[in-house]
Amino acid sequence: MSHVISLDPVLTGRVLRVVNSAYYSLPRKVTSLTRAIIMLGLNTVKNLVLSTALLDVFRKKRATQALFEDDFWVHSIGVGVIAKFLAEIKGVPAIQREEYFVAGLLHDLGKVPLSSEFTEEYTMILKLAKIKQHPLYQEERVALGLDHCVVGRLIAEEWQLGSPLDAVLSCHHNLDAATCQSE
């Protein structure tokens, strides 16, 4: 696996960034890809590879995108790590915790095509949400008539990701699942 990942410098950088993040609080920086894979575990690395592949599906070759990739990636990884940590606290079996990580990692996937397809509009939406201190999904609805949760649901359905991921991608801003499913 190390050899395959090492062929992609972006993916190599992401794996090293994750293992050297504050979450792992290592006394020394890890600079070896092989060591990083061992420390993170195959499931975590596999999920990083999967998420990178999913994001690449939507990435356009435009020089500018409204959604700054590094910020999006850091947020997604952070939510994935927190979801996995909460699953551990709740006593979820170790083998299932990776599913929580993936769900957290992919929860905002609907933002990627919105940003790619509506770059100028999405840049303005991001600015307005920040200035008004409104949730981003509300500003998306006002400007575009839909939000990244709706787009996330469409992606989950198209890719047949299954009910748990469908629910996470489409309902993560609505804690009332019954209401969310009917929207």
Q: What are the pLDDT digits (tens) for 21-66?
A: 877 778 888 888 888 888 888 877 877 777 776 666 555 545 346 6
d(CA 160, CA 91): 28
- Across the chain, mean pLDDT equals 81
**Could you tell me if 90 and 62 lie in one domain?**
yes
What pLDDT does 144 receive? 95
Helix/strand number for the chain, H first, E second: 12, 0
d(CA 46, CA 164): 19
CA 23 vs. chain centroid, Å, equals 16
How many domains are there within the chain? 2
**Could you tell me if 29 and 59 lie in one domain?**
no
* Residue 67 contacts residue 115 (beta carbons within 8 Å): yes
> Which amino acid is residue 155, in one-letter code?
I
**Could you tell me if 156 and 113 lie in one domain?**
yes
**Could you tell me if 47 and 136 lie in one domain?**
yes
**Could you tell me if 66 and 143 lie in one domain?**
yes
**Could you tell me if 29 and 112 lie in one domain?**
no
d(CA 134, CA 132): 5
H or E stretch covering 18: helix 9-19
DSSP type of residue 159: T
* Closest to 44 in 3D by CA, of 95, 111, 90: 95
d(CA 123, CA 162): 31
What's 86's domain CATH number?
1.10.3210.10
* Residue 51 contacts residue 78 (beta carbons within 8 Å): no
Question: How large a percentage of the chain has pLDDT more than 70?
Answer: 83
**Could you tell me if 45 and 106 lie in one domain?**
yes
**Could you tell me if 93 and 178 lie in one domain?**
yes
Residue 62: which domain range?
41-182
H or E stretch covering 20: none
**Could you tell me if 113 and 24 lie in one domain?**
no
**Could you tell me if 26 and 71 lie in one domain?**
no
| From 59-63, 119-123, 163-167, the region with the lowest mean pLDDT | 59-63
* Between 149 and 13, residue with greater pLDDT: 149
Alpha helices in 59-134, H assignment, sequence order: 69-89, 94-106, 111-117, 119-132
**Could you tell me if 115 and 73 lie in one domain?**
yes
**Could you tell me if 22 and 69 lie in one domain?**
no
* Residue 54 contacts residue 109 (beta carbons within 8 Å): yes
Q: Mean pLDDT across the stretch 80-91?
A: 93
Q: Helix or strand or coil: residue 127?
A: helix
- Show the tokens assigned to 78: 């952070």
What pLDDT does 181 receive? 55
